[in-house]
Amino acid sequence: MVSAVILFLLPITTLVYDFRTDLETDTFSVTTAIGETSANTTLLVAIYGNDTDTISYTSNVTETPSVSAYDTATRQLTTASLTANVTRSLVVSYNIDAINNDSVATLLDNTSAIWLLMVITLPVAAIASIFLGKD
């Protein structure tokens, strides 16, 4: 029964993540020198949860850019696997925090322990009442 409840809650975690994040897209003009295959850019907004797995690239040059490093303090993103000696338009897409300080959702976020308790206990209580309420 516990596994059924956990399976029931899995879609909720995805919904919460989708609610908490927005997709940000920044466009940079990046030039690499001869023999240089990486470049640094500064993202306009911090990556949600510092999760670099959410970063995707589009380039107007035939190449497959990848994340090499990300500095959380400065939001500096180091991109590797670039073609050397080329100027390109590099589009970086990544998830950012969708909840700002002025929103009502921030209030809800500050009471996340209560919401988590409700999300876990209400389905369990409902399932328990179904099975325990039968004679």
The pLDDT averaged over each successive group of 10 residues in the chain (135 residues) is 62 77 93 94 93 94 94 95 95 88 58 70 82 68
What is the value of pTM for the model shown? 0.68
**The pLDDT of residue 113:** 66
**The pLDDT of residue 92:** 97
**The pLDDT of residue 134:** 59
Outline where DSSP puts E strands in 11-133: 21-31, 39-42, 56-59, 66-71, 76-80, 87-97
CA distance 82 to 23: 23
CA distance 81 to 45: 23
**The pLDDT of residue 32:** 93
